[in-house]
Structures are given as C-alpha cells and as structure tokens.
Structure 1
C-alpha cells in the first residue's frame, strides 16, 4: 500500500520538477539600423518602459549607461527612452512544437521541450519631446525544459542569459554614439 502511495506522489513530483529545469541558449544580439546620432553623452532624462518585471535588468542597463558618461537629470530637455518589448515567437512548424510539449509532459520531463523567446530593446532619443532617432535591437533565445537539461542549468539559466543580452545591446548602442 505504501508503495502505491509513493508512486502516486512521485509521478506528479517528477512532472512538476521537469517544468522548473530550464536552460537557455542565446542568439546574437543584432540591430536593424545604425546611424550617427547628434545626442552625445551628456545630461539626459532616462525613462524605462516595459521593465515592470525586470528591475535587475533595468538597473544593469542604467549602470552601464552611467559608467559610459550619461548624467541623470530629471529636468533635462534630452530624453533617452529604453523600451523592452516581448514578441510572439514564430515557430516554423507549430505542430512539432506542440507535439514536443506533449511528449515532455507524458514522459515526465525525460524528453526536453523547446520554447523560443524573442524580444526587442529600443533606444529612443528625444529632444523637447520630439523623437530624433530610434534604434532597435533584436534578441532571442531558445529555452529547453526537462530533466536532461539539468546539466546546462548552472551556466545557461534563462534570467542570466536575458540580462546578458540586454547589457550587450546597451553596450552596442553606447559604442555607436
């Protein structure tokens, strides 16, 4: 009897734990356009949009901007708006993605499932409320969930990878100013 009870609790425990084992592998951060910008590193008002759940990432971007010479001034006419937006991933074969998720669930996490995450980071420069320039960086990563990915979790944790991508995009932006 105790053996049957332990099996009943073990299977859901394996299924739930497989959902928390996740490793991410990033794409290269790319920008769609590069143009020279008249606004240099000076006193600027920095506004973050879309970071309501990403305080650590917002602070990391702000730290990079401040290290590179930007000076925060809430009364400045110059504004830098940093916009984070999630995009819906486009799976080439959606039915394979759904089948993969079902196999992961039915196997108790032994078959890893794949999830694609895509987002953009936009740097919008304004002077007296008029947009002067806007640069968009595309970021993406492939996340794998399941028991076999436990090995990669230590070095490829999705939150860490996402934060690194945001910092890389910020450094690319600063390099071009």
Structure 2
C-alpha cells in the first residue's frame, strides 16, 4: 500500500464512527401567531409543501389532523397548507462549532460533534385563495455524533425526535383553533 492509500483508509476508519452514531435532543416547540381569525374544523383542502423528503412525517401530521375532525376534500373552498421549511442554524460561537468538528475528526469520533438543526412548520388557512389565518412553529434540535453517543441513540434518534416535534406542533395548532 502506498501512502495515499493508507491515508484514505485511515480517514475512512476515522469517519465511520462519526457517521454511524447520532443522537438528537429537541428544543421546546415555539409558536408565533402572525394573523388570526377563527376557522372551524370541517372539509378542507389539505396541501403539504416542503415535505419532499419527509413522507412518514407528512402521513403522521395528516393522521393527527384527520383524527381531530378535519375532513380532507380536494374540492373544498377552505384550504389548509402545511409548510415545512429548513432554516440555517444559528451557532452562538461558530468558532467553537468548527473546533468541535475538527476535534471529532482527529479523535476518530471519541469527541462527539455538535450539529444544530432548525426549521419552521407553518399552518396557513385560506378561503378561496385568501389567507385568513397563519401560525408558525419554530422547531430546533441539537444533534450529537460520535462514539460516546451510542448510549442515547436508541431513545433520541434524530428522525424519531423530528417526527415527534412535528406531531407536537400539529397538536398545538389544533388547540389554537
């Protein structure tokens, strides 16, 4: 083996623990009301935007809405648009984040790395195309990757935590209307 092959092999060995182990810890779901009018639970046209990679989460939100009394009717004049948007994460100290990533890489995953994920979930109600009510929910999650994180992986898997946050925001929305 030449030097380049050995270096590639070493980098792959160092990256495997970092990529395989991940745990997420959610923030509290926060609601921001922008415009408010009352809309009753009835036949609505439910449209999902931004869920192109989150089919399971979309189904879970739809299930909660249907269970709470909404009736999905593609021909209804009332519309409910559920919008999922990713936001750029805000790191209070960006240089610490970068240093942490470097330490994780150099330690082969023994020093866990931190990644912040932020998004918004918006429920927009319209009547004949005119927006009548809109609620925005801020979702945030801190993810940790590395070998010591294996302990938390079972109960704090990022996909599971994210889905739970989306369902929690949907239940909060149902309480608001």
Structure 2: where are the runs of 5+ without partners?
none
Correspondence 1:84 to 2:88: no
Q: Quote the offset at 1:11 in angstroms.
A: 6.5
Q: Deviations over 1:116-140 (max 9, x none)?
A: 0000000000000000111000010
Count of aligned pairs: 174
Correspondence 1:158 to 2:148: no
Contact 2:29 2:165 in 1 (8 A): yes
Stretches of 4+ moved more than 4 A in 1? 8-11
Contact 2:33 2:134 in 1 (8 A): no
Cα separation, partners in 2 of 1:139 and 1:39, compared to 1, 3 Å: same
Q: Deviations over 1:13-33 (max 9, x none)?
A: 342232220000000001022
Task: Give SS of 2:143's match.
Answer: strand
Task: Give SS of 1:13's match.
Answer: helix
Q: 1: CA distance between counterparts of 2:79 and 2:166?
A: 19
Task: Give SS of 2:74's match.
Answer: coil
1:69-108 equivalence runs, <5 A: 69-108=69-108
Contact 1:88 1:118 in 2 (8 A): yes
* TM-score, length basis structure 1: 0.92
1:135-150 equivalence runs, <5 A: 135-150=135-150
* TM-score, length basis structure 2: 0.92
Contact 2:14 2:107 in 1 (8 A): no
Segment drifting more, 25-34 vs 115-124? 25-34
Q: Deviations over 1:118-168 (max 9, x none)?
A: 000000000000001110000101000000000000000000000000000
Task: Give SS of 2:122's match.
Answer: strand
Structure 1: where are the runs of 5+ without partners?
none
Q: 2: CA distance between counterparts of 1:175 and 1:122?
A: 15
The Cα RMSD (Å) is: 2.1
